[in-house]
Structure 1
């Protein structure tokens, strides 16, 4: 029995340390697990924190970019200025014409026809134009076609154009830049007959630039109105260019009929000028225009002069 008691004592002594070790191991395991859990939690928290910080930074960056973009003024198209044309100091109606009604332009309000006025016993007629007028091609014959109640004076200029920016090369020039223009304005005329457009139709003038057909209407309208506002307040007649029977120095009948004449008809409608169809009056006179443009004999000159005289006497009321 004593031996058995000893054995039990030894066994107890052995079991106590084992239990303690097991408890210790269990405690260590718990501690390790706690540490691992803490580290995992910390790591997760750190990642979440970093992610939150990154998201916040991105939001701030986006906000700054938006603010910067908002602060930049919107882009605008550059403003372009058209090249100014030469000023005409005697003209006071610049830019007041309504847009013409040619196919490529907008419609305009037509002016009232020029009212008939009472004329003095002697009616003074000023003939304005280019070489067809300058060289007495019809101007001298007009005096013969009219009675002694009329006095005709010529103010033609070789190569003259209605366009203000005509090619001033000695043979081709804007009428308003010539001394004859100022002389005709102050001539005290009762009637002004304008026959321009033939030189305007030349290719290097008509098709060059931005919009010469429109500009031709504007410039011719200004020319007509400058005479209408002259001190003598003359009645203005607008004569269409004679028929062109063959090309001459860049002048063709296609441009005259297709562009110049419609433009002149529009000017007459806008200003109330009296239209003279000298183009139709010469259409069957090819043999009297040897160079295709200028009348070469008396019969050709009379075609123009008679048409102008008929229009004047019909309007004035006396031959």
Structure 2
């Protein structure tokens, strides 16, 4: 009875603020605070909380509900327990402490200047078992010019989700692993991230994760972490290879319909360069014996060639742009 009454007050509160919004634009924080106030002391499921926040956002004028504010609300929801949460007028209970960097509440600033590519180009590759076992980064080294140095940092069963898990419930988020820490000690010019295959497992995606917000937040945070390294590397986000048959509960349907669209959104938000390895491997089933991992050199080369092409296209365009700017400047001086 109490819950129905509280939820009724909550809905009424939203309608009130929506009506007020027609006369005077409301900031997102004020709506969220109001929503929290109307649900004080009420224990609700995360799904209810998500719906409430989404409704609050949609009641705002489009110009008021900015991307940064939406991200902030999503991050707030993400700090709630997976099963229950108690709302208060000021704060929401945070769960799961970790040594890993905190979830972002807004988009951090980008480096003010791009790092100029030197004679030696260092490429750092991070990912799951497809990366760890040398399935493609060894081939990538051969597909790139001799001036490129490729380093791999992969973890078996790793997820982009901070709190992703194996099928037995063992935590397997890439953030917080030794490989992650080691990768941050490098000085890369380019970082290639290929994660998402293990995120497609039902244990990581169904239930709370049927809503992609958490995956988007965690992957965005990962991309931003690399972008903010002292060397200011260019980050490439590779869409994982096609799943040719179910492997360890991983299906192509979950990967293609849930993970891939979310990764595309992350690339757009972070300005990361997208590499469509998923499409490149669509017709290569014979080279993926278990359905997920490349089982022969042709399969590995297929992945490496797609990534190498993206890197070289980017580097060439950067050099061309730099040359054109230099020629334009010199021309201006000569013609002056």
Aligned to 1:252: 251
Query: Which deviations, in whole Å up to 9, do the C-alpha atoms of 1:174-211 show, x marking residues without a partner?
Result: 00020111111121111100000000000011113365
Distance 1:309 1:210, change over 3 A: closer
**Structural mapping, 1:112-191, within 5 Å:** 118-167=116-165, 173-191=172-190
Distance 1:211 1:142, change over 3 A: same
Are the counterparts in 2 of residues 132 and 294 from structure 1 also a CA contact under 8 Å?
yes
RMSD: 2.6
Query: Which deviations, in whole Å up to 9, do the C-alpha atoms of 1:86-116 show, x marking residues without a partner?
Result: 4565636712159xxxxxxxxxxxx99x997
Distance 1:132 1:76, change over 3 A: closer
Greater shift in the superposed pair: 76-85 or 204-213: 76-85
Are the counterparts in 1 of residues 163 and 171 from structure 2 also a CA contact under 8 Å?
no
The offset of 1:163, in angstroms, is 0.4
Aligned to 2:194: 195
**Which one has the largest radius of gyration?**
1
Which structure ranks higher in relative contact order (CA pairs < 8 Å, sequence separation ≥ 6)? Answer: 1
Calculate the TM-score normalised by the size of structure 1. 0.67
The answer to whether structure 1 residue 230 and structure 2 residue 240 are counterparts is no
Query: Which deviations, in whole Å up to 9, do the C-alpha atoms of 1:257-284 show, x marking residues without a partner?
Result: 1011100000000000000000011011
Aligned to 1:221: 220
Q: What is the CA–CA distance in structure 1 between the aligned matches of 2:268 and 2:309, rounded to whole Å?
A: 20
Distance 1:147 1:171, change over 3 A: farther
Q: What is the CA–CA distance in structure 2 between the aligned matches of 1:277 and 1:115, rounded to whole Å?
A: 27
The answer to whether structure 1 residue 94 and structure 2 residue 104 are counterparts is yes
Distance 1:283 1:264, change over 3 A: same
Are the counterparts in 2 of residues 126 and 192 from structure 1 also a CA contact under 8 Å?
yes
Partner SS for 1:174 = coil
Are the counterparts in 1 of residues 100 and 175 from structure 2 also a CA contact under 8 Å?
no
Partner SS for 2:230 = coil
Q: What is the CA–CA distance in structure 1 between the aligned matches of 2:307 and 2:95, rounded to whole Å?
A: 32
Aligned length: 231
The offset of 1:118, in angstroms, is 2.8
Q: Which runs of 4 or more aligned residues in structure 1 lie more than 6 Å from their structure 2 counterparts after TM superposition?
A: none
Q: What is the CA–CA distance in structure 2 between the aligned matches of 1:282 and 1:248, rounded to whole Å?
A: 16
Aligned to 2:55: none
Partner SS for 1:188 = coil
Q: What is the CA–CA distance in structure 2 between the aligned matches of 1:76 and 1:145, rounded to whole Å?
A: 59
Distance 1:233 1:76, change over 3 A: closer
The offset of 1:78, in angstroms, is 2.7
**Structural mapping, 1:7-22, within 5 Å:** none
Question: What runs of 5+ residues in structure 2 fail to find an aligned partner?
Answer: 1-36, 44-78, 82-93, 320-336
Are the counterparts in 1 of residues 103 and 217 from structure 2 also a CA contact under 8 Å?
no
Question: What runs of 5+ residues in structure 1 fail to find an aligned partner?
Answer: 1-74, 99-110
Q: What is the CA–CA distance in structure 2 between the aligned matches of 1:181 and 1:165, rounded to whole Å?
A: 14
Partner SS for 1:219 = helix
Q: What is the CA–CA distance in structure 2 between the aligned matches of 1:204 and 1:170, rounded to whole Å?
A: 8
The offset of 1:213, in angstroms, is 1.6
**Structural mapping, 1:6-45, within 5 Å:** none
Aligned to 1:33: none
Q: What is the CA–CA distance in structure 2 between the aligned matches of 1:210 and 1:306, rounded to whole Å?
A: 33
